Amino acid sequence: MRLIDLRSDTVTLPTEEMRAFMAKAEVGDDVFGEDPSVNKLQEMVADLLGKEAALFVASGTMGNEISIKILSNWGDEVIVEQESHIFNYEVGVASAFFGVQLSPIKGIKGVFTSEQVKDKIRPENIHFPRTKVICIENTHNRGGGNIFPLDEIERIKKIADKYKLKMHLDGARLFNASVATKIPLKEYSKFFDTVTICLSKGLAAPVGSVIAGDKPLIDEARRIRKMMGGGMRQAGIIAAAGIYALEHHLERLEEDHYNASLLAKSIADIKGIKIDPNDVKTNIVIFEVTDTRLSAQEVIEKLLKNGIKMLLFKEKFIRAVTHLGIEENDIRYTSMVLDKIFSG
Ligand SMILES: Cc1ncc(COP(=O)(O)O)c(C=O)c1O
């Protein structure tokens, strides 16, 4: 039985065409800066985001953490959202490797305000760490793919400038935000000193992320990547997948958004499920199991027996993410199965 894997967009597999493109990639030694495919990918991302330079890194985590390192100093404090990937899923790297402390703000579906940022900024005092960086995640993973509004980012940037703080964007799914809002990527990225994008989520490349920023920052990022053992050699083989993804898989994200919205709408009326389809802005669907006869874990097990994988998000919540390889028919089948599970 073919599995419909809705656990994450990270499970997306490279297509045959992408594999063929990778096999033909021109390569060289990227630690010498001589890999033409890596260089091309970096130029493409810098160009898309309106930045001077970019650096190919192994993962989104590596991209976020190198960015934090190059924007802060030992003993500084970095403002993040409480449910963000950086705060929850990056194994405490910022403190473990780079000696900075994370200061979380409680947002609403990942979004916080400039007033909240202002309240978090430490005054100059010998006892306090120095606030140095503000991180924003857009779209927000645990916020159910929510989009951080551009006008709020602008207000936060004004505060950042006033207090001489740096800004980092965890744009693992920035392409989803841009496709959904039709706001160009550059309009988002212009407020940030560093931006990380991921190629291995909705874009379906097997590996890789890219950090973009001013050239001196990216030169420094290259040093830190080397320090972390992330200097790669003939990385053009995997960078080629990123080039292919940027050329072919950006616009199709709209399909994923359509499918996510379709899933939300078609399960919203099932007794025992709670979801507001209006909350689904991109490719992530989070619904609550309100049926007292079934736990979310049991629902996941029943789904699996029908060839569908979803993720336990919180005790009573389940997450489904649409991506390349998931078709409208899969969504119709999934909602039919959920209907059966809850009516049984
Ligand atoms: C918002 C966000 N940022 C960063 C990452 C980290 O990416 P990676 O798994 O490549 O380290 C993820 C991964 O799911 C993510 O959702």
Q: How does residue 47 score in pLDDT terms, banded at 50, 70 and 90?
A: very high
Give the whole-number percent of the chain exceeding pLDDT 70: 100
Judge whether 6 lies within some domain. Answer: no
- Binding site membership of 141 for ligand 1 (Cβ less than 6 Å): yes
Mean pLDDT on 135-159: 98
- Binding site membership of 76 for ligand 1 (Cβ less than 6 Å): no
Q: How does residue 1 score in pLDDT terms, banded at 50, 70 and 90?
A: confident
306 and 241 both lie in a single domain? no
pLDDT tens column, 160-212 = 999 999 999 999 999 999 999 999 999 999 999 999 999 999 999 999 999 99
280 and 209 both lie in a single domain? no
Helix-helix angle 253-267:174-181, to 10 degrees:
80
Q: What is the pLDDT of residue 2?
A: 86
Q: What is the pLDDT of residue 11?
A: 97
Judge whether 7 lies within some domain. Answer: no
Cα distance between residue 338 and residue 198, in whole Å: 31
Is the pLDDT at 316 greater than 90? The verdict is yes
Mean pLDDT on 34-52: 98
pLDDT tens column, 91-110 = 999 999 999 999 999 999 99
Which of 141, 196, 283, 313 is the best mutation target for the ligand 1 pocket, counting ligand atoms within 8 Å of the beta carbon and taking the most?
A: 141
Q: Which residues contact 336 (CB under 8 A, 6 or more apart)?
A: none
Choose the final residue of a domain: 217, 248, 279.
248
Is the pLDDT at 344 greater than 80? The verdict is no
Choose the final residue of a domain: 227, 248, 269.
248
Q: Judge whether 43 and 36 are in contact, CB under 8 Å.
A: no
Average pLDDT across the chain, whole number: 97
172 Cα–ligand 1 center, Å? 6
> By 3-state DSSP, what share of the chain in percent is helix, strand and coil, each rounded to 5?
45, 20, 35
Q: Which domain holds residue 77?
A: 15-248
Q: Which residues contact 60 (CB under 8 A, 6 or more apart)?
A: 85, 170, 172, 196, 198, 200, 201, 209
117 and 39 both lie in a single domain? yes
CATH code at 337?
3.90.1150.10
64 and 160 both lie in a single domain? yes
Q: For ligand 1, atom 8, which residue shows the shortest CA distance? A: 60
- Confidence (pTM): 0.97
Q: Both tokens of residue 289?
A: 């199991």
Please list the alpha-helical segments (H only) found in 30-113. 36-49, 60-71, 85-88, 93-98
